[in-house]
Chain A
């Protein structure tokens, strides 16, 4: 699939940046959306050097849902049409804080689920009408099963995964690929505070996987691939047993 004109929301994410490099190397036009102007400029300059034909930036806090349509309109106005959308933003909130605060829990849900669903609602209509293209979202293996250590984040990612499942079936008829990406543990700023064990992968490896999955229009990809097996096993553990595991 041609990925010549792509919008990347959460473009300053380490994983999205790696995927964007692959697109830039192919001479793509990239519309980078994020909330931090200095970071966006850094990424934009880099992608230009790496070969992107054109790079535009758009400042947006994804929780300003009212501005989503304006953002998409700006992208279409800039490039004429869009081949792809990659949604990458996310926060790995503090689970304990969420347990102690409704506000905190809802904020995490807002960023990781609702903002994504809002964007998808608008983008789906654009791509449905256009009759081609690819929508990819960074969900997570955490959405496959609720765990005590991160079920707020996990539930938000799970909601996104289910939403994408339905959307995929709807848009398949219109020639639009919807790609659910479930990374395992990735060494990025989001996980800077975690101890890096053997299960950690580099952002580069995962970002390249994202690019390939988008090119091929795959439905659901685990990155790296072995996480499919790990999550299969984790999902098969009976609830009683699961409760006693400290995961």
Chain B
């Protein structure tokens, strides 16, 4: 559990920067006066963003993890209202036994509702359900001038759209309401299919998108040549049989990584071994299983603090999306560069995003292929590789995911998020983040006046 005054870090543990102060928020109606708190301000949930979008060097961090109460649960309609610091884990504990599920689940359940909105998170069902923000019906936003605004598609619509995917910059979300999804039991009908090339991945997507709620692939990033892009395709649906509704879920104690491991434990060799094992553990081409939802959605959550495996230097995650049109070729090129660099990790996830549009102005997901993988921080060498990959993403008309970023360039941000200027109108003047300052966005008009002065 996060102590409020522990120094807030991001999941990648890079960059290591400190805020000037951490102010815990305990009650919605007793938020300290944001006007008098020294700025810049930024909300912090559980620090499951990888880079610096949840960090606020030398600023004031508003720790919202104590805002953890439910407000209302309409079990008929599947509508849940809770404070912004409630974690998805806690929501699942409440709703799954009552036959409901999250509309969208990221790869870890230890994220807050506020964080889920601020990054407009996506999951394995993006092709069917869109992003988390698509299911939010309303929320309350506290601005630094003390205004408390209910935002919804009909009330304060502009702020609603700016806050979804708004990187925490539009103010402090106090509570939110969103729609849930009906389930019959906590189990997933899962199929794992070993595939040997990127072409095959594309075919599997085309074949599965219609009939499977959840699809994703784990890619062996070190495979090259004809094996490029090979991996395991996973697809699943919620199980519907009454028999599983009676089956109790297994309770496993999570493992933990208690200390920082030296970073050499994750060198290329171990990665290669891991990748090969993963591939061979699955000799049959297709495996069908009914499994509890947790290992299906959150395989990494069973090892607490696994980010410490990367040692003190921390690590990066690189997540990009490339549009369908060039998707296949560009992704091939990206995988080739990663494979050649030998820097890739065992955690590479490939997924096809769908067409469902999010209300968010700065939402990251868009129709195309998205790839996400970890890189140990090897300094300039790693950064150079990223710059190469950026060029490919840029040319394809794709984008990078700010929630995973610690190094993208401001110029690229403008290209990736063409509505950034519109967004700037809704940024709270007192809110900012290390990420936001790094992007150093100056609207064109202000730039020119600056030159005149």
Q: With A45-B69, A46-B70, A50-B70 known to touch, is A200 a contact of B29 (CB < 8 Å)?
A: no
- The A-contacting residues of B in range 1-22, CB under 8 angstroms, are 1, 3-6
Most buried by B among A42, A202, A204: A42
Any A CB within 8 A of the CB of B453: no
Distance in angstroms between the alpha carbons of A49 and B69 in the assembled complex: 9
Give min CB distance, B78 to chain A, whole Å: 13
Instruction: Let me know if A204 and B1 touch, CB within 8 A.
Output: yes
Complex contacts, B26 vs chain A, CB 8 Å: 14, 189, 192
Give min CB distance, B83 to chain A, whole Å: 9
Any A CB within 8 A of the CB of B59: no
Any A CB within 8 A of the CB of B288: no
A14, A39, A49, A196: which contacts B5 (Cβ < 8 A)? A196
Complex contacts, A189 vs chain B, CB 8 Å: 24, 26
Q: With A50-B94, A192-B24 known to touch, is A45 a contact of B1 (CB < 8 Å)?
A: no
Instruction: Let me know if A42 and B27 touch, CB within 8 A.
Output: yes
- The B-contacting residues of A in range 39-55, CB under 8 angstroms, are 39, 42-43, 45-46, 49-50
Distance in angstroms between the alpha carbons of A174 and B71 in the assembled complex: 40
Q: With A49-B94, A50-B94, A189-B26 known to touch, is A42 a contact of B69 (CB < 8 Å)?
A: yes
Distance in angstroms between the alpha carbons of A200 and B24 in the assembled complex: 15
Q: With A50-B94, A189-B26 known to touch, is A45 a contact of B3 (CB < 8 Å)?
A: no
Instruction: Let me know if B1 and A202 touch, CB within 8 A.
Output: yes
Complex contacts, A204 vs chain B, CB 8 Å: 1
Give min CB distance, A17 to chain B, whole Å: 8
Interface size class of B (residues with CB under 8 A): 10 to 19
Number of interface residues of A (CB under 8 A): 18
Instruction: Let me know if B69 and A43 touch, CB within 8 A.
Output: yes
Any B CB within 8 A of the CB of A232: no
B3, B24, B27, B71: which contacts A49 (Cβ < 8 A)? B71
B4, B69, B70, B71: which contacts A192 (Cβ < 8 A)? B4
Complex contacts, A205 vs chain B, CB 8 Å: 1
- The A-contacting residues of B in range 369-418, CB under 8 angstroms, are none
Any B CB within 8 A of the CB of A195: yes
A38, A46, A195: which contacts B69 (Cβ < 8 A)? A46
Complex contacts, B73 vs chain A, CB 8 Å: 49
Any B CB within 8 A of the CB of A83: no
Any A CB within 8 A of the CB of B253: no
Instruction: Let me know if A196 and B3 touch, CB within 8 A.
Output: yes
Complex contacts, B66 vs chain A, CB 8 Å: 14
Complex contacts, A14 vs chain B, CB 8 Å: 26, 66
Q: With A39-B27, A42-B28 known to touch, is A187 a contact of B69 (CB < 8 Å)?
A: no
Distance in angstroms between the alpha carbons of A187 and B27 in the assembled complex: 15
Instruction: Let me know if B72 and A49 touch, CB within 8 A.
Output: yes
Give min CB distance, A185 to chain B, whole Å: 10
Complex contacts, B4 vs chain A, CB 8 Å: 187, 192, 196
Residue of B nearest to A195 (CB): B5
Residue of B nearest to A17 (CB): B69
Instruction: Let me know if B6 and A49 touch, CB within 8 A.
Output: no
Q: With A38-B29, A39-B27, A192-B24 known to touch, is A45 a contact of B70 (CB < 8 Å)?
A: yes
Give min CB distance, A218 to chain B, whole Å: 23
> Beta-carbon contacts of A184-206 to B below 8 Å, as 1s and 0s?
00010100100110001010110
Distance in angstroms between the alpha carbons of A123 and B340 in the assembled complex: 74
> Beta-carbon contacts of B60-82 to A below 8 Å, as 1s and 0s?
00000010011111000000000
Q: With A38-B29, A42-B28 known to touch, is A49 a contact of B1 (CB < 8 Å)?
A: no
Residue of A nearest to B1 (CB): A202
Distance in angstroms between the alpha carbons of A50 and B69 in the assembled complex: 9
Distance in angstroms between the alpha carbons of A195 and B29 in the assembled complex: 24
Most buried by B among A39, A50, A187: A187
Distance in angstroms between the alpha carbons of A216 and B241 in the assembled complex: 38
Give min CB distance, A223 to chain B, whole Å: 14
Residue of A nearest to B94 (CB): A50
Distance in angstroms between the alpha carbons of A205 and B1 in the assembled complex: 9
Give min CB distance, A49 to chain B, whole Å: 4
- The B-contacting residues of A in range 70-109, CB under 8 angstroms, are none
Give min CB distance, B220 to chain A, whole Å: 39
- The B-contacting residues of A in range 106-130, CB under 8 angstroms, are none
Give min CB distance, B51 to chain A, whole Å: 25
Residue of A nearest to B27 (CB): A39
Distance in angstroms between the alpha carbons of A60 and B250 in the assembled complex: 43
Residue of B nearest to A18 (CB): B68
Complex contacts, B24 vs chain A, CB 8 Å: 189, 192
- The A-contacting residues of B in range 412-443, CB under 8 angstroms, are none
Complex contacts, B69 vs chain A, CB 8 Å: 42-43, 45-46
Distance in angstroms between the alpha carbons of A189 and B26 in the assembled complex: 7
Complex contacts, A200 vs chain B, CB 8 Å: 3
Complex contacts, B29 vs chain A, CB 8 Å: 38-39, 42
Distance in angstroms between the alpha carbons of A49 and B73 in the assembled complex: 6
Distance in angstroms between the alpha carbons of A43 and B4 in the assembled complex: 21
Most buried by A among B6, B24, B29, B69: B69
Distance in angstroms between the alpha carbons of A14 and B24 in the assembled complex: 13
Distance in angstroms between the alpha carbons of A195 and B94 in the assembled complex: 33
Instruction: Let me know if B6 and A196 touch, CB within 8 A.
Output: yes
Residue of A nearest to B68 (CB): A46
Distance in angstroms between the alpha carbons of A155 and B94 in the assembled complex: 41
Instruction: Let me know if B94 and A45 touch, CB within 8 A.
Output: no
Give min CB distance, B19 to chain A, whole Å: 14
Q: Which A residues fall within an 8 A CB radius of B?
A: 14, 38-39, 42-43, 45-46, 49-50, 187, 189, 192, 195-196, 200, 202, 204-205
Considering the complex of A and B, which 10 residue pairs feature the smallest CB-CB distances, nearest first?
Answer: A202-B1, A49-B70, A46-B69, A196-B3, A196-B5, A49-B73, A46-B70, A189-B26, A187-B3, A38-B29
A selection of 23 A-B contacts at a CB cut-off of 8 Å is: A14-B26, A38-B27, A42-B28, A42-B69, A43-B69, A45-B70, A45-B71, A46-B70, A46-B71, A49-B70, A49-B71, A49-B73, A50-B70, A50-B94, A187-B3, A187-B4, A189-B24, A189-B26, A192-B4, A192-B26, A195-B5, A196-B6, A200-B3
Q: A49-B73, A192-B4, A202-B1 are in contact. List 19 more A-B contacts (CB 8 A).
A: A14-B26, A38-B27, A39-B27, A39-B29, A42-B27, A42-B28, A45-B70, A45-B71, A46-B69, A49-B71, A49-B72, A50-B94, A187-B1, A187-B3, A192-B24, A195-B5, A200-B3, A204-B1, A205-B1
